[in-house]
């Protein structure tokens, strides 16, 4: 298995896990049982599960109006989007950045 495939599978697994934990929390909320702490839901989003978190939030209508949770989740998504764009565009800007750093030293 290549490194890229392993990374994709890991991201998919984290997102599936995040979606399931949101689902579990929604079910617990309906039944008045023990809830998953918001910090854990946000942590799962932060480690790569933000697409699964947003999908669960929309499909399950879970924590859609809860502040500051909603804002924190959107900030995590923005952080991931910036990282994705930076990572995908690195072949274009990284050589120039490394050259500029070497000149500065």
**pLDDT tens for the 105 residues of the chain, in order:** 699 899 999 999 999 999 999 999 999 999 999 999 999 999 999 999 999 999 999 999 999 888 999 999 999 999 999 999 998 998 888 888 888 888 877
Spatial CA neighbour of 51 closest among 22, 87, 24, 88: 22
Residue closest to 60 by CA, chosen among 14, 32, 37, 28: 28
What pLDDT, on a 0 to 100 scale, did the predictor assign at position 99? 83
Enter the pTM of the model: 0.85
- The reported pLDDT for the residue numbered 1 is 67
Q: Match 């854990």 to its residue by tokens.
A: 40
């Amino acid at each position: 298995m290549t490194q890229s495939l392993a990374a994709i599978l890991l991201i998919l697994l984290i997102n599936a896990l995040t979606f399931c934990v949101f689902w579990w929390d929604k079910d617990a909320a309906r039944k008045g049982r023990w809830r998953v702490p918001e910090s854990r839901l946000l942590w799962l989003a932060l480690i790569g599960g933000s697409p699964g978190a947003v999908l669960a939030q929309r499909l399950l209508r879970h924590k859609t109006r809860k502040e500051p949770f909603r804002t924190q989740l959107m900030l995590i998504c923005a952080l991931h989007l910036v990282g994705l764009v930076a990572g995908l565009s690195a072949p274009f800007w990284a050589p120039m950045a490394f050259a500029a750093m070497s000149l500065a030293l």
